[in-house]
Amino acid sequence: MKSVVGVLVVIALIVTLLVLLTGVLGMLRGSDFNKKYSNIIMRARVGSQATTILLMLLYFFLD
């Protein structure tokens, strides 16, 4: 069970990184993409970070 949660943690970390990079690159461009999607992307980042933290806590408490 711990190995499954470990894989989910890695996947969640990658998703969080990709969402963060998408948001930062969108802000650097400053185009219509940023105006239209920046709030949605940052909300997705917060959700993915929360999921990652919960999975990490689950991983550390599984023994």
Q: Torsions phi, psi of 57, nearest 5?
A: -60, -45
Give this prediction's pTM. Answer: 0.84
pLDDT at res. 26: 87
Q: Two tokens at 18?
A: 């990709």
pLDDT tens track, the chain, 63 positions: 889 999 999 999 999 999 999 999 888 888 888 888 889 999 999 999 999 999 999 999 997
pLDDT at res. 63: 72
pLDDT at res. 30: 81
Based on C-alpha coordinates, what's the Rg of the chain? 14
